[in-house]
């Protein structure tokens, strides 16, 4: 299934942005170049999550494994145009399924391992699955049995794991039916893979609504991957440690595709375990990884780290929440490690601040390169062909002045073609693009100028839906979260709006206390923020302390859940209102 209209394909290929090698071509090229180099390494605790041995495969061994898996999938009807659902933790099997299905001419629809029967059934129907790949168990959950219960005979369910543990109606991917190599070769010879054809159907995070299906092809994955390759300076000599689920833009565009592009070693990790993670960094001599912002802070808070804990690590990426100067400066000063600040989405937003685009470590916590700037070009190839604009949501006018928030809208070779249609709702996503074809990201940014006055940077403000409106004044949850993250008693935090009969909303800070620290109180947090000097109306007026923030399957804070949880007034709702003389 080709995703983009011919006019766009012709334009972007003529410019050299599209017409990239297919994933199978990249994989075969890497195998030919370095057959005996280590390609893929399983996590050492794999047995706790899958009934399968931990693998360490060279490129040649992985190629043979992919061929064997393709023969088994082909025997069960997977082929050209097939959409295969996949639910596996990061593992050699997950990477091999991607490559085998693509080799057969199909596409994968990966599901986070946290998804259950409701999501599998609802989203599987949207994707049009004809097969589903999982394991006898994923963690403690009988994943194959659950999938069989959801799909019945309508979708072929296949699973890794001991055949004796497979429920009736589930086929084994470790043994059993398989076509011969000659039949596989004949199947592949019958078509020519095109980089404009769908290879993945990922799902939006679902923090505010039901997840939406995002189809993507090698052509529009490539610009996203180049952002990581160029900013981190990745080559075939690198070792990539992947702790983010390989089901969306972070795991696929940030790790899987860069791995295929460079021929580096991919070390899998999932679910996150700090002890295993740092063990892998040391043992595998990892040079690049990605972590959530909270881990950056946690590591910096340790007065001493075990010898070799960060080993050969030279670059670490982070995102999904605002970074602080303490993180970007602290890691550079203390460890000599560059921190990359990522902002991205499955739909194609792809901004990365690092040594290539934003060299200053302090600036990197606040600014992203304005890809598509009319006054500046960028050496990071993710910028090629990308266009950005800011639009005032109240008036619809384009924002041109610095420091004026507007919704980020994007065009370019990394932008997806549109959400998968939902049965019975043909116009469900009609407003995803504006009348001029710009994708509406739903994220508020402002232009920021460099020292010479050139507004070549973007400063993240917040999600358009994540603004607390207090008495007609907009409060950015992300801004408050960024400030609160610097408080020594705060490990993690989220700010949400809670109903107020007079002001409409008030800002509620939901805080996870830092280990070993006294839990902060509201007066202490407000005093800390006053010292920073932020406007009084932005101060939080309610504090809730929790053991952990609720997160969706890809790690984003579930703000809707927090709003619902704290919608009712607190029993002791004695939060200090902003004094009238200080109100706006």
pLDDT computed for residue 84 by the predictor: 98
pLDDT computed for residue 472 by the predictor: 60
> Is there a contact between 24 and 103 (Cβ–Cβ < 8 Å)?
yes
Q: In what order do the strands lie in the sheet with 83-86?
A: 170-172, 156-160, 131-135, 83-86, 107-110, 200-203, 213-216
> Is there a contact between 485 and 324 (Cβ–Cβ < 8 Å)?
yes
pTM for the whole structure: 0.84
Look at residue 578 and tell me whether its pLDDT is greater than 80.
no
Question: What phi and psi, each to the nearest 5 degrees, are found at residue 56?
Answer: -130, 110
Q: List all residues 6 or more positions away from 443 whose beta carbon is below 8 Å from its beta carbon.
A: 343, 349, 407, 408, 460, 461, 462, 463, 464
pLDDT computed for residue 146 by the predictor: 95
Strand partners, 158: 133, 171
Lowest mean pLDDT among 34-43, 389-398, 562-571: 562-571
Using DSSP, state whether 397 is helix, strand or coil: coil
Domain of residue 197: give its range: 20-38+52-216
For the chain, what is the largest distance between any 2 Cα atoms, rounded to a whole number of angstroms?
A: 82
Task: Give first-to-last CA distance, the chain, whole Å.
Answer: 54
Instruction: Identify the CATH number of the domain in which residue 540 sits.
Output: 3.30.300.30
In a domain, 286, yes or no: no
In a domain, 353, yes or no: no
pLDDT computed for residue 554 by the predictor: 64
**Does residue 307 or residue 565 have the better pLDDT?**
565
Of the residues 199, 216, 233, the one at which a domain ends: 216
Give the whole-number percent of the chain exceeding pLDDT 90: 73
pLDDT tens string 12-70? 999 999 999 999 999 999 999 999 999 999 999 999 999 999 999 999 999 999 999 99
pLDDT computed for residue 470 by the predictor: 81
pLDDT computed for residue 302 by the predictor: 82
pLDDT tens string 249-263? 999 999 999 999 999
CA geometry: angle at 554 spanning 444 and 99, to 5°? 115
Q: How far is CA 367 from CA 290, 357, 364, 415, in A?
A: 19, 10, 5, 21
Instruction: Identify the CATH number of the domain in which residue 74 sits.
Output: 3.40.50.980
In a domain, 7, yes or no: no
Among residues 86, 94, 87, 93, the alpha carbon closest in space to that of 141 is found at 87
* Structure-token match 């390494």, residue found: 41
In a domain, 354, yes or no: no
Question: Sorting pLDDT into bands at 50, 70 and 90, what band is 572?
Answer: low
pLDDT tens string 442-456? 899 999 998 889 999
In a domain, 170, yes or no: yes
pLDDT computed for residue 547 by the predictor: 93
Of the residues 197, 216, 235, the one at which a domain ends: 216
Among residues 237, 180, 200, the alpha carbon closest in space to that of 22 is found at 200
pLDDT computed for residue 184 by the predictor: 97
Number of structural domains found in the chain: 2
Average pLDDT in the chain: 91
Among residues 238, 244, 281, the alpha carbon closest in space to that of 258 is found at 238
pLDDT tens string 336-369? 999 999 999 999 999 999 999 999 999 999 999 9
pLDDT computed for residue 537 by the predictor: 77
Of the residues 216, 248, 267, the one at which a domain ends: 216
Among residues 4, 384, 73, 432, the alpha carbon closest in space to that of 218 is found at 4
In a domain, 265, yes or no: no
Question: Sorting pLDDT into bands at 50, 70 and 90, what band is 329?
Answer: very high
DSSP 136: S
For 47-82, give the DSSP string: GGTSSS---EEEHHHHHHHHHHHHHHHHHTT--TT-
Average pLDDT over residues 363-390: 94
pLDDT computed for residue 576 by the predictor: 45
In a domain, 144, yes or no: yes
In a domain, 118, yes or no: yes
């Amino acid at each position: 299934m080709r995703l983009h209209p011919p006019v766009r394909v012709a334009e972007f290929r003529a410019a050299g942005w599209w017409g990239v090698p297919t994933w199978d071509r990249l994989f075969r090229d890497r195998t030919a170049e370095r057959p005996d180099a280590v390609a893929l390494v399983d996590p050492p605790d794999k047995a706790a999550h899958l009934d399968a041995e931990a693998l360490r495969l060279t490129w040649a061994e992985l190629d043979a494994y992919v061929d064997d898996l393709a023969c088994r999938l082909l025997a069960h009807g997977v082929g050209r145009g097939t959409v295969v659902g996949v639910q596996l933790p990061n593992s050699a099997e997950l990477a091999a399924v991607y490559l085998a299905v693509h080799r057969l001419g199909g596409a994968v629809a990966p599901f986070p391992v946290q998804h259950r029967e409701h999501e599998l059934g609802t989203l599987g129907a949207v994707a049009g699955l004809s097969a589903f790949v999982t394991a006898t168990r994923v963690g403690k959950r009988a994943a194959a049995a659950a999938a069989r219960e959801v799909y019945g005979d309508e979708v072929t369910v296949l699973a890794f794991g001991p055949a004796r543990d497979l429920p009736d109606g589930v086929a084994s991917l470790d043994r059993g039916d398989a076509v011969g190599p000659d039949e596989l070769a004949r199947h592949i010879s019958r078509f020519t893979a095109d980089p404009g054809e769908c290879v993945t159907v990922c799902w939006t995070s679902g923090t505010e609504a039901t997840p939406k299906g995002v189809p993507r092809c090698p052509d529009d994955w490539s610009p996203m991957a180049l952002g990581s390759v160029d900013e981190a300076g990745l080559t075939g000599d690198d070792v990539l440690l992947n702790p983010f689920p390989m089901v969306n833009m972070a795991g696929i565009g940030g790790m899987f595709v860069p791995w295929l592009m460079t021929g580096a070693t991919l070390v899998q990790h999932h679910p996150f375990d700090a002890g295993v993670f740092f063990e892998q960094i040391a043992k595998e001599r990892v040079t690049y990884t990605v972590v959530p912002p909270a881990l950056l802070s946690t590591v910096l808070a340790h007065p001493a780290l075990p010898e070799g804990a960060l080993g050969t690590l030279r670059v670490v990426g982070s995102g999904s929440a605002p970074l602080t100067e303490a993180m970007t400066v602290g890691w550079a000063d203390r460890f000599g490690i560059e921190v990359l600040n990522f902002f991205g989405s499955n739909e194609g937003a792809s901004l990365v601040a690092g040594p290539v685009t934003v060299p200053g470590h302090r600036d990197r916590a606040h600014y992203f390169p304005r890809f598509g700037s009319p006054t500046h070009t960028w050496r990071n190839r993710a910028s090629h062909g990308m266009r950005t604009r800011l639009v005032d949501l109240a008036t619809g006018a384009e924002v041109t002045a610095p420091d004026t928030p507007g919704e980020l809208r994007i065009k370019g070779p990394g932008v997806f073609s549109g959400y998968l249609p939902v049965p019975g709702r043909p116009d469900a996503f009609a407003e995803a693009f504006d009348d001029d074809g710009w994708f509406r990201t739903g994220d508020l940014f402002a232009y920021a100028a460099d020292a010479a006055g050139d507004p070549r940077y973007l400063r993240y403000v917040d999600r358009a839906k994540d603004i607390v409106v207090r008495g007609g004044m907009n409060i950015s949850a992300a801004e408050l979260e960024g400030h609160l993250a610097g408080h020594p008693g705060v490990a993690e935090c989220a700010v949400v709006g809670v109903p107020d009969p007079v002001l409409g909303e008030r800002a509620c800070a939901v805080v996870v206390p830092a280990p070993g620290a006294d839990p902060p109180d509201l007066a202490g947090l407000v005093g800390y923020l006053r010292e920073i000097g932020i406007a009084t109306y932005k101060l939080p007026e309610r504090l809730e302390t929790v053991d952990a923030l609720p997160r969706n399957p890809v790690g984003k804070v579930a703000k809707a859940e927090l709003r619902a949880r704290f919608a009712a007034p607190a029993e002791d709702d004695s939060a200090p209102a902003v004094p009238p003389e200080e109100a706006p």
